[in-house]
Structure 1
Amino acid sequence: MANLSLQTLLFIVLGVLGRVACLKEVSDRQCNCYLTNDTSKNYFTTHDFFDFRALSQYAKVSSPIADPYDSSDADETSNYFLDDHWTNAWGIQRWNNSDTVDSGDVPVLLVNSPNNIYIENNEDEDASSETFLTMRTLRYKDYQSAAEFESISKAYHFLSVRMYARTIGAPGAVTAMFTYRDDGDSTKLTSVQESDLEIRTMDPKDKVQYTNQPSYNAAGYDIPQSTRNATTPVQADWTQWSVHRMDWSPKNTTWYIDGRQVASIAFQVPRDPSQVIFNAWSDGGEWSGNMTIGSEAYLQIQWIEIVYNSTGDAKTTDKRNEDTALSLSNAKRDGEGCQNICSIDDTPTTGTPVLLQGAASKISDHILGLGVAYVWLPLLLATFLI
């Protein structure tokens, strides 16, 4: 390899780049299945993309509402959140935690408000978008005003979900993207099924918490194998715009930042169909911390993208073994149902899939080609230069 000629190196480089460049951008109507990159072999049947980057007609920072009841009853901040594209997929929450405050479990009343979810102009220097979606949480003397939206569907059954986002603001808040299964009694630890990405603003800016819940047992002791406190890649602390990705499969939940794996947990992986939830909150408790009165924190999102399988039935609980569940949920993987296999990772245009060349029998060639491009190419160049 040290004697690799320039001609040979250029031949390899051009061959790889040509292979990547030949991938054709297509619409979702032309895709039967989706295959994610990295080492995952999971196939998905559906792709959704929510783009908040060019919504200047809806941009307006809503004024905070000091009264908790008025905050809960507030209207949506713009018509964007009344459009079918949003309401068919997401539900903005208005619930509060008064029960846990009354029981003494947490010290601060949390109230979710539609007023804390809005489209905002991007005023960054060298801004990468016109606008973004903001989720705000702020502390008043008597309560914490928070923000949460949940997927309408409760039938996601394995997925890869990504957000291009950042978290900014005062210590004592939590911003999160997670899957959640509600079996009707969330007070029972045995009923909890949840995979979390959580950013705590009291933590160092290069630390993110990843967990397959529950993270503690009935006796109140922590379960170390359920959680990871991971370090972000260099130049990707949580105050910077980064692609945060979570892949939920039958065998593990794996998290990435800007394409780099930062954590993977095989312990107590969620089994059953679930929701996808985003929030920004605090309750003054030990986990979130206690925000200073008058302070604010924000989860700001430019886009959300999901490829997933679903049961088609929100009440379905799959009791079969994980390999059988995966093969059934990916029924399109083989045969005519999956002739067109697409990727959302190898596209030059975020949100637009590309068609992987060939049917399923050609996928290994595609992965090999991309592997050369993304892994071996830098090594070849480094070797030649040395």
Structure 2
Amino acid sequence: MAVLEKLTSQQAIDLENKYGAHNYHPLPVVLSRGEGVYVWDAEGEKYYDFLSAYSAVNQGHCHPKIVDAMVKQAQTLTLTSRAFYNDMLGRLEKFATEYFSFDKLLPMNTGAEAVETAIKICRRWAYAKKGIAENDAQIIVCENNFHGRTTTIISFSNDPVARANFGPYTQGFIKIEYDNLVALEDTLKNHDNIAGFLVEPIQGEAGVYVPSEDYLVKAKALCEKYNVLFLADEVQTGIARTGRLLATCGNCSCADKNCSGTPEVKPDILILGKALSGGAYPVSAVLANDDIMDVITPGSHGSTFGGNPVAAAVAIAALEVIRDEKLAINAYELGVIFREELNTYIKTSNIVKLVRGKGLLNAIVINDDKESETAWNICVALKENGLLAKPTHGNIIRFAPPLVMNKEQLMECVEIITTTLKAFEK
């Protein structure tokens, strides 16, 4: 088979089924091209993308500025490793630290790598700065979290599918209920070896659970009270997805830089990935101030590809697109419209319980049990009607289109969604 031989959708599916590990259960659609908010399958059918590669493609598919930066750098220098300096990484570090208001950036490749990096920084800070006895540090995490799929991360997951038969599990984590400040303070008060609190500002994979209005603010205050680091995993929620540059920005108003004034919650350690590259290339990063990041010394952590020139060029371009095209503002405004329209539909619906979210990270809860296939069947029907989405946790459908979407496109998508749902009304 020639490299560029055109495949039918079935041929592509058959190849994956035969030669690939079966670690995903994709929707039955084979995508071959993308532009902006649209993707096309192998037969040329056009769809609205309402998943955005789990919020990696916030800037839209194949954004010309990002692609141009990637191609230009790929034709110049792709990889040096960190054994040598390159002339792009420092530019990204300066741009990103100024943009997000931190002193230092540590570059990695994937979201899971960034989370692992943040855990290592937090533990080393606990031993070097807080005085916790070595190997005794604990990190508080939340039930129903999703921070990645490494063996350490699944050790503090309570998803049986992610955990089953992958033990023994890594120690050093205490799980508490999400959005429960009493549980957080009780844990902080009754343990003197807590290094950090790792939390998603919105639990995306769990079904777009948005915490109480003051949860993050008060959780950060508790961390400060007990001298514990606040680690914000914004791999999915960050970079304009929720209508703010960061979800931890709370309810501040968006301006030219996408946030005006001081963020409502300033994490001690910020974890970014996904849209940091606009979906064009694996790029992730951990940001912190000097008093935390200085625990990382030569040889204590690294990555062959982390901070490579292509990644740096792509990430700068991706962040410039967010800033220059005011995508946080767009996400905020369209998100309000989307939830208003869906709530209007839900008033007379018996198939949808509710819609929740912030910005353009939203989900609907299907009025059926988690073991049913109703949500999956709705997504298959949405695909037949020209819109791609995917269920999570059985009866929840997540909706997260690229942030370059306009109001006219959004309203067309609302029409597709509501028309499709009507066919499933009981």
TM-score by length of structure 2 reads: 0.25
| TM-score of the superposed pair, with normalisation by structure 1 | 0.27
The structure whose residues are more often strand, as a share, is: 1
Higher helix share: 2
